[in-house]
Structures are given as C-alpha cells and as structure tokens.
Chains A and B, each alone.
Chain A
Amino acid sequence: MKVLIAKPGLDGHDRGAKVVAQALRDAGLEVIYTGLKRTPEEIIAEAIQEDVDVIGLSILSGAHLALSRRVIEGLRRQKADQITVVVGGTIPPRDVQALLAAGVRRVFPMGTPLPDVVTAFRDARL
C-alpha cells in the first residue's frame, strides 16, 4: 500500500504530517511526503504519477473544506477517484460531516490517537 501525505495550501505546520508519515512507514506502508505549500493540482499530479492508494491531507489553517474539495474534484476530473482521500488537522467537529459529504473517506481531527490513524490507513482501502 502506497500513501501520499500532503500539505496543501499555505499552512506551514508540518509536525502532524511528518509524525503520521513516520508512523505509517513504521507500520510497513510505503510513504511519500510532499513538503509544504503544495497546490491541489500539484498533489493530484504527484499522487497519479506515484500511483498511490491514499492521499492524506494535513491542514491546520482552517482552509480544509475548500482545499479538500479541490483535491477530490480534481481527482474525479482526472478519472483518478480510485485514490482515497483522508484529512487530518485542526478540523472542528462541525466540519467533519461536510468533509465526508464532499467525498473525504475519513477525517482525523485534533486529538485522534496515532494508533487509530495507523489502523485506519492499514485496514486496506480504509
């Protein structure tokens, strides 16, 4: 299983992204991390080129709804919507349903224990 951990938008906080990336790698997954400040288009292109199964978006600035929608719509347009999208970060509870409705498979808000995140990724196709 191959995973792309991605930082879309302008937010520079990458502690969570890097911690999750390390935990997934230790769990035996193949993990790529994009680095900071990538556009949804760049993330989609990298995900397709690297043929990943899952994109994990890490967003702490509050711009999660707009950014997640752009990634999911872009994947659909490129007929790559077999790639699962999950989102973690500073996600208020009231936005979780909106993200799921937009096509995000799983949301990991603040306080999600790391083992739960790893299990969710590892359970094939989430």
Chain B
Amino acid sequence: MRDVILHAGIPVKPVYGPEDLAGRDFARDIGRPGEYPYTRGIHPHMYRERLWTMRQYVGFGTPAETNARFKYLMAHGQDALNVAFDLPTQLGLDSDHPRAEGEVGRVGMAVDSLADMEEAFAGIPLDRVSVSLTINGMAAPITAMYFAVADKQGARPERVVTTPQNDILKEFIARGTWIYPVDPSLRLVADLVEFSARRYPRSNPLSICGYHIREAGCTTAQEMAYGLAMAAAYVELMQARGLAPDEFAPRLSFNFTCWGKIFEEIAKFRAGRRLYARMMRERFGARDPRSWMFRTLIGGGGSAFTVEEPENNIVRGAYIALAAALSGAQTMALPTYDEAYTIPSAKAQLIALRTMQICAEESGATDTADPLAGAYFVESLTNQMEERIGGELAQVERLGGIVAAVKTGAIQAEVARQAYRFEQQVGAGEIRKVGVNCHVGERAVEPDREVEPYTVDPRAAEAQLARLRRLRRERDGAAVDAALRRLTEEARGTVNLMEPIMEAVRAYATLGEMADAMKRVFGEHKEAVRW
C-alpha cells in the first residue's frame, strides 16, 4: 500500500474511526453552523438561504471592451464582477510611460484616470452590483475612482459595495505588484480601510489573500497560516489608528484558493474559520459576531490546471467547485480550462461559470450546511490541519512576525523552497497529474483547434494612448497641479490620504501622476531577493 501525504505534510490513514476523535468536545470545537467558532460555516443554513456569489475574474484591454464583457457575463447570470487591471495600472504607471510599452491592456483593463472607470462601469448600476477590484499597491486611488463613479451615478454611499483587494503584504510575498516600501504601503492600506469604515459602510476595503501565496508555492497549512498572520497584522495596524476591531473587522474578507486534495481543502477552511474566530474574539477582543467570521472567496487554483490536454481542466474545475462548496465559500471563482496558456476566452469563462452553476443547482452539494461534519476523517483532518497551521504561525512569530519576515524576504524564500519541492514531487510522480506524469498516452493528443490563444489587439493600446492624450489636453491643468501638490504635502504628514486622493481623482489627475506625487515622499521598495 502506498503512502499518502497531504500537501500540508499530514499522512493519511487508509481508514478512520471514532478513536480518531477521542478527547474532542463537539460543542466546543465544532458546534453548529452559524455559531462560534464557525467550524461548520458562518451561516446557520448556509446555501439553503443564500448561494455563494459567482464572481469570475475579468478585464480586457480597454475600459469599453471590459464593459462589454461585464454585460455579457451579467446577461448569463453572473451577479458580481471582479475586475482585472493591466500591469501598468497595478503599478501606478500611465499607459504612456516607457515601462508600460507592450503591457497596456494585456493582462487586464488599462485605467489612467477617472474617465476610464466611468467608461468601464457605464450602464452598470453601482448601487445594485458588487464589484471586486483586484488592485493592491494602487488600491487607494483606484477605489477612490470607483467611489467617484458611483457618486456621479447618484448611488448613495451606504449602498455601494466594492471589494478592493488592498492586501499589500501578500504582494510583497507573492504577487509582486508592490510600489512603495513596506511601511508607507501599509499606511495606504490603513487609509483606505479607515475611510471605507467611516464613509462606505457596506464596502469591504481589504481582502486578505492566502490565494496568491499558495499559487506561488506554499503548502495548504502555510496558506492559511500566512493569511491569518496577515489578518492579525492588519488588525493591529488599525488598532494603532484608534479603531476598535468591531469598527472594521465585520467588513474584512478573505481570498483563498482550493485545489488538489478535496478533503485537505475542506479541513483547511474548517480549521481556518475556527482559528480566525478564536483569534478575533480572544486575542483582539472583538465583541460583534460578524468580526469573528471568516468570510471568504474561494477561487480555484490555476496551478491545478495543466497545459497538457487542457479540456481535462474542465473536469478538474468541477472537483474544485465541489470542494469549494463543501468548504463553505461565500464567493466562488474558477480558473478557466485555457488558463495555463492564455487570457481566458469567452467560451472558457462561460464553462467556468456553468461549472459553478451545475455544482449549485444539480449536484446537491448545497442542500445542507457542512454535510461532512462528524465524519471521522474530516473532523480528524480538521484538527490536524489546525495543529499544522498553528505550527506555521509559530514559525512566523520566530521570524519576528509577518511584517518583519516580509521585509527580510524570509517568507518569500520559504515559499520558493516549497514551490521547488512541489515541482520535484511532480517530477518524481509522488504528486500525480493525469496526462502529465501518469496515464500519458504513447501519442501526444492532437491540439484542439477550438482552443485559440487570446490575441491582444494592438489598436486597443493605441486607443488607450489617444484617450490619455485627449484627457491631458482637455482637463483643468491648474486644478490637477493643485490637487497633486496637496497629495504630496499630505503624504509627508500622517493624515488619511483618501481625501486628497479623491480630490485628485475628481480633477482627472492620472493614476501615474498620483502615484508619483506619493513616490516623492515614500520612495520605492527595494526587494530583498531571497530564494
């Protein structure tokens, strides 16, 4: 009999029984869904009352193209949007910056100013849809643009629901769209959280992401541990501003991945909910039950998907959707079967959406809350996962805490080490991938001609540059200069920068101009390269 070791390093026995739950208190450790410590989910009846939100990640070239794709997805039943931005936008570079060449509109939508956000959301009522913005280093100005568009549409602030990612710590660890050094970057995160808490009470100003760290290579237990450690760091940051946890924690949310072994993923989320609830209540003293709830987007991990025989990824996606449903997702997104080699096609996006809908409507996975509760294996694995996560949290503490470990690059080095280890295990066949390292046919499968790589239309970048030139010509230059000067001045102090950013946004200052106005004070991050 071959050994089975989960990604978190936990060995799996061939059979489990009551002896595996000895010494556990069902009421204390598991309880009921919708009750502390939320092991079984954050709502009493879970999907019977409200299905998860389906939110695919979309963003193409120009704001007009993105707008058209949003309307297409909404017409097919998607009820929330998730916006991808191109790399220059994510890094605070205007489309005409020399470093933006070749990148404009490539991996998402190009945004140079409020005018672009107005076009992207034209005809989409921002008091009725909820929109996630996958933006971090530039979260403050991009979210300010979103608020400004909502305002121009006449939406009342208390009805505006947006979820900027705004998680800069995971950018330093994994995703790489950092701009400023760690401390001023954290200040901007806190400015947006504080501003939203006071002015846009239904918005979710910070989505804490284990997802990208796992995609970069860490284990399941590390994904949850680093996510919880970052959450704690952000809570401490807001407390230092004088905000009590209950003033902002109910609007914190999470973004985690899900792929690989189904039961390991379910156990990861059950353990994570329990740990977060205890951390928020016992360590931070939160009193509002909503502050204890680990609300999460579960996005299927693209790392599960293979470039070989890409249609098989549709099947992998269905298992991921099932695992995410059984894990208690509030929001779900799936990678598309063509994701290993291209920006998703419309067909692939629709299949991903249909996969989630089939899971929700046909499979029965939504009929009852946490149907696996009490299973010897699942409860035992949840306990073991909790121990592993605790061990990883202790390791972060030994490194001086997550912020210090990010500054030194120690976490980044550990993630890279795990990525290499995983690759070696795939190479050795210890981690099995059908069509890659097992069941590989004698003859390579003919490429499917329907799988067409997305082609970037060079005219889209040209159109964006023309829009930017027209904007610079037509706006009130004096108002822009005054707003940018104010932003630089305020950045030297300690006040919340959202007001001066809102002013610059409304004057149609470009994103690059706002980024530079702050860069004059903050400087740029120097990466601690460790691997």
Closest residue of chain A to B409, judged by CB? A35
B103→A61 contact, CB < 8 A:
yes
Tally of chain A residues near chain B (CB < 8 A): 33
Prevailing SS type, chain A contact patch:
loop
A115→B427 contact, CB < 8 A:
yes
Q: What 0/1 readout, one digit per residue, does chain B (287-318) give for beta carbons within 8 Å of chain A?
A: 00000000000000000001110000000000
A121 to chain B minimum Cβ distance, whole angstroms, is 15
The CA-CA distance from A90 to B99 in the complex, in Å, is 20
A35-B529, A92-B341, A111-B307 as given contacts; A62 in contact with B106, CB under 8 Å: yes
Q: What 0/1 readout, one digit per residue, does chain A (14-47) give for beta carbons within 8 Å of chain B?
A: 1100110111000000000111110100000000
Which among B48-56, B228-236, B353-361, B416-424 touches the partner chain? B416-424
B99→A39 contact, CB < 8 A:
yes
A9→B306 contact, CB < 8 A:
no
Cβ of A13 within 8 Å of any chain B Cβ, yes or no, is: yes
B171→A12 contact, CB < 8 A:
yes
Residues of A within 8 A of B417 (CB): 22
Closest residue of chain A to B420, judged by CB? A22
Partner of B529, one of A22, A23, A34, A114: A34
Residues of A within 8 A of B427 (CB): 113-115
The CA-CA distance from A61 to B91 in the complex, in Å, is 14
Partner of A18, one of B171, B341, B343, B420: B420
Partner of B306, one of A39, A61, A65, A111: A111
A94→B453 contact, CB < 8 A:
yes
Q: List residues 37-91 of chain A with CB under 8 A from any CB of chain B.
A: 37, 39, 61-63, 65-67, 90
Closest residue of chain B to A39, judged by CB? B99
A22→B341 contact, CB < 8 A:
no
Partner of A35, one of B87, B216, B436, B527: B527
Cβ of B365 within 8 Å of any chain A Cβ, yes or no, is: no
Q: List residues 440-484 of chain B with CB under 8 A from any CB of chain A.
A: 453, 456
A61→B87 contact, CB < 8 A:
yes
Partner of B416, one of A15, A66, A67: A15
The CA-CA distance from A66 to B103 in the complex, in Å, is 10
Residues of B within 8 A of A90 (CB): 341-342
Residues of B within 8 A of A114 (CB): 423-424, 427
The CA-CA distance from A63 to B171 in the complex, in Å, is 21
The CA-CA distance from A111 to B310 in the complex, in Å, is 11
Partner of B88, one of A10, A19, A36, A113: A10
Residues of A within 8 A of B100 (CB): 10
B254 to chain A minimum Cβ distance, whole angstroms, is 21
Partner of A9, one of B103, B217, B343, B527: B103
A62→B529 contact, CB < 8 A:
no
B300 to chain A minimum Cβ distance, whole angstroms, is 17
B407 to chain A minimum Cβ distance, whole angstroms, is 14
B419→A15 contact, CB < 8 A:
yes
Q: What 0/1 readout, one digit per residue, does chain B (171-185) give for beta carbons within 8 Å of chain A?
A: 100011100000000
The CA-CA distance from A123 to B102 in the complex, in Å, is 33
Q: List residues 85-114 of chain A with CB under 8 A from any CB of chain B.
A: 90, 92, 94, 109-111, 113-114
Cβ of B191 within 8 Å of any chain A Cβ, yes or no, is: no
The CA-CA distance from A60 to B423 in the complex, in Å, is 18
Closest residue of chain B to A113, judged by CB? B427
A63→B106 contact, CB < 8 A:
yes
B102→A9 contact, CB < 8 A:
yes
A21→B531 contact, CB < 8 A:
yes
Q: What 0/1 readout, one digit per residue, does chain B (235-278) give for beta carbons within 8 Å of chain A?
A: 00000000000000000000000000000000000000000000
A92-B342, A115-B427 as given contacts; A61 in contact with B307, CB under 8 Å: no
A12-B175, A12-B177, A18-B531 as given contacts; A111 in contact with B102, CB under 8 Å: no
A110→B341 contact, CB < 8 A:
yes
Closest residue of chain A to B88, judged by CB? A10
A10→B103 contact, CB < 8 A:
yes
Q: Which 3 A-B pairs have the closest CB atoms?
A: A12-B176, A111-B307, A35-B529
* Besides A10-B100, A22-B420, 7 new A-B residue pairs in contact (Cβ under 8 A), listed by A number: A10-B90, A10-B99, A18-B420, A35-B527, A61-B87, A110-B340, A111-B306
Q: CB within 8 Å of B: which residues of A?
A: 9-15, 18-19, 21-23, 33-37, 39, 61-63, 65-67, 90, 92, 94, 109-111, 113-115
Can you list 20 A-B pairs, Cβ within 8 angstroms, ordered by A?
Answer: A10-B103, A12-B171, A19-B217, A19-B423, A34-B529, A36-B176, A61-B103, A63-B106, A66-B101, A67-B102, A90-B341, A90-B342, A92-B341, A94-B453, A109-B307, A110-B341, A111-B307, A111-B308, A114-B423, A115-B427
